[in-house]
Amino acid sequence: MPIKEFNQSYPVIDTDPHFSRVVRYFRPSDYAAWAAGTAAAPALLLGMEKMHPVGSRNTLRFPLRVATIIGAFGGFLYAYQSSSMRFWGWTENEVEVAKDKAELSQLAKEGKPLYGESYMPEHIQDNSARVSRFSQLKFGAIPWFNFANHNHHGVDTSKYSESS
């Protein structure tokens, strides 16, 4: 199945990046968004409590903890999606392109597989890629990440073998 092509302004790094790569390529702004999401949820709960009190301060302990956990999950998903959009070339990604070129060129020089070694059969790798590609757009329904190593990333890998 061909990979859907978009008319993006920036170079595509990877259409189905591995979870660890997306997290490794987080920018400080992604960490700030994650922290803001973590802080915003309990702040919103406290703001609603100020407007319409329902009980004593002791009754808010558990709801504040739950709100903080939900905010942390939401903030992480937002940061992950933002980082993924840079991989897809949907937003400015100059830093990530340079980091990707250096990282994968080094792996190519060492003769290692660019996207990790996989022990799954080829048809399973293909199915895994089809299921997880652009899954970051569906976080509202279900958080789905790519934890599988495969070679279906929608980019020409010969650019990493070229000597610069």
How much of the chain is helix, strand and coil, in % rounded to 5? 60, 0, 40
- What average pLDDT score do residues 150-158 get? 73
Q: What is the pLDDT of residues 23-68, one digit of tens each?
A: 999 999 999 999 999 999 999 999 999 998 887 767 888 999 999 9
Q: How far apart are the first and last CA of the chain?
A: 32
Domain-wise residue ranges, the chain = 19-163
- What's the pLDDT score for residue 95? 93
By C-alpha distance, which of 127, 129, 29, 42 is closest to 80? 29
Q: What is the pLDDT of residues 94-124, one digit of tens each?
A: 999 999 888 888 888 888 877 777 788 888 8
Q: Helices 61-88 and 28-51 sit at what angle, rounded to 10 degrees? A: 150
- What's the pLDDT score for residue 33? 97
What lies within 8 Å, CB to CB, of 98 at 6+ separation is none
Is residue 1 scored above 60 in pLDDT? no
